[in-house]
Amino acid sequence: MATTTASLSLSTDMLSSPINISAASTLMKADYNVGLDLVESGRGTIAAADGSKTAEFGLATALGNDKATKLFLVNLATDPSYFLDIDIHDTNLGKLYAGDWLFIPWSQTDVAAEIVIESPVAGSVCPYEYAVLKEPETLVAHS
């Protein structure tokens, strides 16, 4: 059985008492003891000054709606003022600055639940990478 495990280690010495947090989770399909599959991944560049200002990915289909889904997204920009604005359809999740990443559960309930990323900083060119882990869509056999 193939499995996908996400792990995070966070530590800081900025406080009077150091904090060390570690967590790991095996990503499973809904109602199963089977791991999620990497269904979609890629990289791209968004430039605020041209027609590639926005990107959408991970659109749900009728065969893949509302399954167990996780999204990983990282802003690969090196300029600390360049950020990606992250939306799920019309709802803003926040800004992802250079070097920042996010890992979230994502309910792909319908085609209005797409992830939209923008680079609104004038003159910015933000490279990014993403991965969508979810239950694969099972196609119905044609008879």
pLDDT tens column, 61-104: 555 566 778 888 999 999 999 999 888 878 899 999 999 999 98
Rounded to whole angstroms, the Cα distance separating 95 from 88 reads 12
pLDDT tens column, 90-140: 889 999 999 999 998 887 776 677 788 888 888 888 899 988 887 766 555
pLDDT tens column, 50-63: 555 566 665 555 55
Q: Residue 110 maps to which CATH number?
A: 2.60.120.10
Rounded to whole angstroms, the Cα distance separating 105 from 30 reads 12
Residue 11 in domain: no
Residue 63 in domain: yes
**Strand (E) positions, 48-90?**
54-57, 69-75, 83-88
Please tell me the predicted confidence (pLDDT) of residue 74.
94
Residue 8 CB coordination number (10 Å): 10
Residue 17 in domain: no
Domains contained in the chain, number: 1
Residue 18 in domain: no
Closest CA to 71 of 53, 85, 83, 59: 59
Residue 107 in domain: yes
Cα pseudo-dihedral 74, 79, 81, 82, rounded to 10: -50
Closest CA to 71 of 47, 30, 101: 101
Please tell me the predicted confidence (pLDDT) of residue 41.
79
Please give the residue range of the domain that contains residue 124.
Answer: 41-134
> CB neighbours of 76 closer than 8 A, spacing ≥ 6?
43, 98, 99, 126, 127, 128, 129
Residue 7 in domain: no
Residue 1 in domain: no
Please tell me the predicted confidence (pLDDT) of residue 19.
85
Residue 21 in domain: no
